[in-house]
Structure 1
Amino acid sequence: MLTHLSLKHFAVVEEAELAFGPGLTVISGETGAGKSLLVDALGLLSGLRADSGVVRHGAERAEVVGEFTLADVPAARDWLLAAELDEDGEASCLLRRVVRADGGSRAWVNGRPVTIGQLAELAGLLVEIHGQHEHQALMARHSQLALLDAYGRTGAERAAVATAAGRWGGLLDERDRLTAQGDVSDRVEWLEHQHAELERETLEPGSVEQLLADHRRQAHAADLIDACEGVFARLGGDDGGSVTRELRRLRGELQRVVEHEPRLQEVDGMLDTAAIQLDEALTLLDRIRADLDLDPSQFERIEQRLGRLHDLARKHRVAPEELHAQRERIAVELEQLRGAGQRLEALDAEIAAATSDWQAAADALGKKRRAAAGALADATTALIAELGMGGGRFDIAIEATGQARPDPQGAERVEFLVAANPGQPARALRKVASGGELSRISLAIEVAALGLDTVPTMVFDEVDSGIGGGVAEIVGQKLRALGASRQVLCVTHLPQVAAQGHAHYRVSKAASDGVTQSQVRLLDPKQRQEELARMLGGVELTREARAAAKRLLSDVG
């Protein structure tokens, strides 16, 4: 939902801050005051082409900022997350567009620069504009299909179709990969040779590391033996200069005088611990020395094996420690290639089954779509008549896509068709010429669908063009009804429509220092009654106009 809209140096608006709430918000003003500028501003935030004409005369740039809450738009939250434009813990997002006086423009989402395409994609999830312009969301056939599916509540059927199409595509890709390999007998023979070479070596995890450690030990065996024997002799040898003998002598000296200084007992305990550690070190040192042996033949065998491993590692372009994993990869590929023929035969059957599954799911989806199309067409046709287009007809054409590949969207596409007057053939909604009729038809569709499309904010520009009296009141009532499930903004020149709003903005213009400026003001109840009286009676606000305005507001309640 749109919560705030900020304009700066935009057309004839120097600066404006607008707050919006749920329900129906109406925007009125005198002809030429610029009441449709708010729609134009939202259009810029929706990614429309920038025009230097929107920059206020004398300013360097125009700026539009819109803040939207995301609590009711999970698709927008997902989009922001995927694009890494989300704000942690934030339940809203900020869209900003700047247009320079030379016509260039830039866009930001949550303070980070984005392309105009990205801005349009995100805005398409947040706001939908219905008016006398070609950028209306309902003109796009994919939006029409989405609205029909929402009306028919086909979520489960669409998911089944998409799943079946995805499985079919995956199987087809697998078959293409296997087919592209051609005759694999030569590669199988080559891989078997490589695998046999690796099988002749011990490559289990840890074995190569152990071999390298054995090689280092044998290469330095003489130095290790000399070091171990030298240290053992100095620590625990039989000669009087060994550390063990010296430690025993020192403890004896302390024990002769310990009775005169009790703290020496603690020193003796420390030396006793050191003696135990020394004995353990001597035992381990003796064991290590016993394991060391100068064996040239063993060293040669280790070097030969290590050389073979290095040769294999260079051949396979991996480290010696990775040869085991390389052998496993070759084994897996061999298994796959050996079974390629059988897998190809199985794939043909699986692809046929997946095609059948998709067709069944698509048939179920198509059946539900056709039922929903009839109901939506009847409801919209009835509303079109209420909105002053008696004899008009709304239809939904459903046609097969004719594609050979299973489509995740189903087996058909839809086109909204409208006959605005009796006896006229139905034409595509996007080709309807009258802007006012187009707006009312869009309103009828949205009301009939009860706002079931996922976009939370709907904007109607001059939806009441060319109507009046009782029809205008019905238009207002329908907009208010739509506001119960969606946020609705409506630019209007009819008091019967304006009276139905939950909130009311007035756009006015005035000249200051020879420059025309527009101001946007949120009306309180008294100001609103005055504005309705102006819309009813013109410049002169008569008692009758004020009384009529009061009645309009009281009738809404």
Structure 2
Amino acid sequence: MLVHLHVRNFAVVRQLDVDFKQGMTAITGETGAGKSIALDALGLCLGDRADSDTIRPGAEKAEVIASFQLVTAGPADAWLKSQELSDEAEPDHCVLRRVITREGRSKAWINGCPVNVTQLKQLAPLLVNIHGQHEHQLLTKPEHQLELLDAYARHADLLNEVSEAYRQWYSLRKEQKQALQQQEERQARAQLIRYQVEELDQFALQEGEYEELEQLHKKLSNSSALQEDSQFAVNALFEGEHNNAYGLVQAAVQRLEQQLDNDPELEPAVKMLREASVQIEEAARELRHYSDAIELDEAELVNAEKRVTQAVQLARKHQIEPTALPGLHKQLTSELAELDAAADALANSDEAVQAAAKHYRKCAAKLSTQRQKAAQELSEQISHSMRELNMPHGRFVIAVDHQAEAPATRLGTDNVQFQVTTNPGQPLQSLARVASGGELSRISLAVQVIAAAQMTTPTLMFDEVDVGVSGATAATVGKLLRQLGQQNQVICVTHLPQVAAQAHQQLRVDKTTDGEHTETQMVTLDHDNRVIELARLLGGDRITDTTKANAKELLANAS
């Protein structure tokens, strides 16, 4: 709950410090005194738009600090812990601070940690729920009616389930639509690739094969020269009749061996010549085998030449090197498989979309059943409150029309309408068409009070929601708000003495001026001052013994 509010240089407030307590608190004051200033300042602290025009004239910045006492393990406590913003020293407290400057800049803190406005807005509904004086205007809007019903039903899990089912269905339909739009392009691409893959399949060039074909073609094309030159080498090295290399080396070895006794230093040279002789003989033997093995195979040459030519032609068609053909073959085969898979997926997408649609409709129907149950309960409670609020023949019905085949939305397919009748024999009609201004105000108040009772938000604020209400009806309004204050902290800005008297505590807003400057203050009233303030509300500025007596009676009846 809200325990303290500090406001400095905000609108007509120079500095304001107010303590709040549990139960119902009434804020009263003369017209124009700024009774809603605390709610406006708190709204700034909760993430409302920062406007430099709200800074008090002459000041450079405005500051609002709101202190709350948390419910242990409650939603606000859980959120703070999830964001690592809890105050370790006082884990059951939360302090919000907002500063706006004349330049229009805004800064915010939660428990001393800098935060952005989005974080303030996420935390705000977990701490405070503010009902404005124009709430009855929203009550006629279908989207607000649906929101109120869902808030009363407290079925966030079902709403999330429907929203997720809608997201899945929408995603599948979007994918299917995109696939259909791309289908013609994919088919043309698949047809081209299929032809190319079939051509490459038929050629079936393996990795590294082109390099081998080139080498084979070169060898076969030059087989005569290879045989001739290898035979020449054999003769030059070993088999020639005159002066072959082997014979010359052997002659040199023989002559040098005869000189070893004369000079042993020749031994290394002789040794190398002996080894050379052996190498020459082995080389000649290898060349002889090579020469004998060479055969000119015209068929193999033609085949090799043909595959090389085909490889070059295919590579030129695809604008790549012949050696890259096997890689291209793999790439195109893989792309064709993906295109075929996409075509299969599109063929099967109808089944997936229909399954998602069926799941969504099932979730929406389940949500609708819960709404209808909650609508019946809420309708009965509001009808009862209407009779208490001086509409003895009032009947309120929340019609939930479940349209099974209606266009899907994240909130289901229900058409929710608040219907009312206030006179005997009058049929139920749309709230906006039937209710007068005063009736609408009272119905709105009944709806807000009952809906608020279902909320987990610890602090509820009502800003002059009792406009258009008077007399015995006003007393009933006060009792409803006091009853609500038994389980929630209720802060109510009001101009009605019957409502203010029901409060557990009362604050008065005063506006003073010295002719040049205007200032608003808020003071907590004791019993005697409450009597005076209630007497003013009853009789205007002229406070008499009669109005004071009436004020005392109102307080006595409330307590």
The TM-score normalised by the length of structure 1 is 0.61
Residue 377, structure 1, aligned to residue 402, structure 2: no
Corresponding residue number in structure 2 for 1:386: 388
* AA of the residue aligned to 2:32: G
Give how far 1:490 is off.
0.7
Does the CA contact (< 8 Å) of 2:44 and 2:98 recur in 1? no
Corresponding residue number in structure 1 for 2:369: 367
| Cα distance in structure 1, aligned partners of 2:401 and 2:105 | 40
Query: In structure 2, do the counterparts of structure 1 residues 395 and 329 end up closer, same or farther at CA, with 3 Å as the change threshold?
Result: farther
Query: In structure 2, do the counterparts of structure 1 residues 424 and 358 end up closer, same or farther at CA, with 3 Å as the change threshold?
Result: closer
Does the CA contact (< 8 Å) of 1:28 and 1:492 recur in 2? yes
Which runs of structure 2 are paired with 1:541-552 in the superposition (5 Å)?
Answer: 545-552=547-554
Residue 461, structure 1, aligned to residue 463, structure 2: yes
Query: In structure 2, do the counterparts of structure 1 residues 426 and 529 end up closer, same or farther at CA, with 3 Å as the change threshold?
Result: same
* AA of the residue aligned to 1:41: A
| Cα distance in structure 1, aligned partners of 2:81 and 2:178 | 33
Secondary structure of 1:449's counterpart equals helix
Secondary structure of 2:453's counterpart equals coil
Corresponding residue number in structure 1 for 2:149: 148
Q: Deviations over 1:514-536 (max 9, x none)?
A: 53322101223444344334444
| Cα distance in structure 1, aligned partners of 2:69 and 2:433 | 30
Higher mean displacement: 394-403 or 15-24: 394-403
Give how far 1:16 is off.
0.3
| Cα distance in structure 1, aligned partners of 2:445 and 2:534 | 23
Higher mean displacement: 422-431 or 540-549: 422-431
Corresponding residue number in structure 2 for 1:2: 2
Higher mean displacement: 547-556 or 180-189: 180-189
Give how far 1:411 is off.
0.8
* AA of the residue aligned to 2:134: H
Unaligned runs of 5+ in 2: 209-329
Corresponding residue number in structure 2 for 1:497: 499
* AA of the residue aligned to 1:36: S
Give how far 1:381 is off.
2.9
Corresponding residue number in structure 2 for 1:129: 130
Which runs of structure 2 are paired with 1:99-118 in the superposition (5 Å)?
Answer: 100=102, 104=104, 106=106, 108-110=108-110, 112=114, 114=116
Give how far 1:11 is off.
3.1
Q: Deviations over 1:312-339 (max 9, x none)?
A: xxxxxxxxxxxxxxxx999998876554
Does the CA contact (< 8 Å) of 2:28 and 2:494 recur in 1? yes
Corresponding residue number in structure 2 for 1:528: 530
| Cα distance in structure 1, aligned partners of 2:387 and 2:39 | 27
Residue 56, structure 1, aligned to residue 56, structure 2: yes
| Cα distance in structure 2, aligned partners of 1:332 and 1:48 | 55
Give how far 1:157 is off.
3.9
Q: Deviations over 1:79-105 (max 9, x none)?
A: 8799x79457666352525364x8x46
Query: In structure 2, do the counterparts of structure 1 residues 466 and 167 end up closer, same or farther at CA, with 3 Å as the change threshold?
Result: closer
Give how far 1:410 is off.
0.7
| Cα distance in structure 1, aligned partners of 2:518 and 2:419 | 43
Say which of 395, 398, 401 aligns to 1:396: 398
Corresponding residue number in structure 2 for 1:352: 354
Give how far 1:505 is off.
1.1
Corresponding residue number in structure 1 for 2:22: 22
Secondary structure of 1:353's counterpart equals helix
| Cα distance in structure 2, aligned partners of 1:5 and 1:136 | 29
Secondary structure of 2:398's counterpart equals strand
Corresponding residue number in structure 2 for 1:307: none
Does the CA contact (< 8 Å) of 1:473 and 1:497 recur in 2? yes
* AA of the residue aligned to 2:442: R
Give how far 1:540 is off.
5.8
Does the CA contact (< 8 Å) of 1:397 and 1:415 recur in 2? yes
Secondary structure of 2:152's counterpart equals helix
| Cα distance in structure 2, aligned partners of 1:77 and 1:175 | 43
| Cα distance in structure 1, aligned partners of 2:358 and 2:474 | 52
| Cα distance in structure 1, aligned partners of 2:473 and 2:497 | 12
Corresponding residue number in structure 2 for 1:410: 412
Give how far 1:468 is off.
3.1
| Cα distance in structure 2, aligned partners of 1:382 and 1:18 | 36
Give how far 1:369 is off.
1.8
* AA of the residue aligned to 1:144: Q
Corresponding residue number in structure 2 for 1:554: 556
Higher mean displacement: 520-529 or 500-509: 520-529
Corresponding residue number in structure 2 for 1:33: 33
| Cα distance in structure 1, aligned partners of 2:382 and 2:368 | 20
Does the CA contact (< 8 Å) of 2:441 and 2:468 recur in 1? no
* AA of the residue aligned to 2:159: R
Does the CA contact (< 8 Å) of 1:389 and 1:420 recur in 2? yes
Give how far 1:148 is off.
1.0
| Cα distance in structure 1, aligned partners of 2:415 and 2:132 | 24
Give how far 1:156 is off.
5.0
| Cα distance in structure 1, aligned partners of 2:331 and 2:523 | 71
Say which of 515, 518, 522 aligns to 1:516: 518
Does the CA contact (< 8 Å) of 1:64 and 1:97 recur in 2? yes
Corresponding residue number in structure 2 for 1:228: none
Does the CA contact (< 8 Å) of 2:136 and 2:440 recur in 1? no
Higher mean displacement: 134-143 or 39-48: 134-143
Q: Deviations over 1:91-148 (max 9, x none)?
A: 6352525364x8x463535364645x77666545644433333798757654432331
| Cα distance in structure 1, aligned partners of 2:433 and 2:115 | 33
Does the CA contact (< 8 Å) of 1:130 and 1:442 recur in 2? no
Say which of 423, 446, 452 aligns to 1:444: 446
Higher mean displacement: 68-77 or 489-498: 68-77
* AA of the residue aligned to 1:376: L
Q: Deviations over 1:442-472 (max 9, x none)?
A: 3201333352245443322223334333222
| Cα distance in structure 1, aligned partners of 2:351 and 2:194 | 25
Q: Deviations over 1:175-214 (max 9, x none)?
A: 45655362364668999999xx9x979xxxxxxxxxxxxx
Does the CA contact (< 8 Å) of 2:70 and 2:76 recur in 1? yes
Secondary structure of 1:477's counterpart equals helix
* AA of the residue aligned to 2:39: V
Corresponding residue number in structure 1 for 2:317: none
Give how far 1:360 is off.
2.3
Does the CA contact (< 8 Å) of 2:462 and 2:491 recur in 1? yes
Does the CA contact (< 8 Å) of 2:24 and 2:485 recur in 1? yes
Does the CA contact (< 8 Å) of 1:461 and 1:490 recur in 2? yes
Say which of 92, 97, 117 aligns to 2:94: 92
Does the CA contact (< 8 Å) of 2:442 and 2:468 recur in 1? no
Secondary structure of 2:469's counterpart equals coil
| Cα distance in structure 2, aligned partners of 1:50 and 1:392 | 42
Secondary structure of 2:385's counterpart equals helix
Q: Deviations over 1:414-453 (max 9, x none)?
A: 344566788698555699884x655533320133335224
| Cα distance in structure 2, aligned partners of 1:482 and 1:99 | 38
Unaligned runs of 5+ in 1: 202-327
Let me know the Cα RMSD of the aligned residues: 4.8
* AA of the residue aligned to 2:35: K
Residue 165, structure 1, aligned to residue 166, structure 2: yes
Does the CA contact (< 8 Å) of 1:393 and 1:426 recur in 2? no
Which runs of structure 2 are paired with 1:300-319 in the superposition (5 Å)?
Answer: none
Give how far 1:479 is off.
0.6
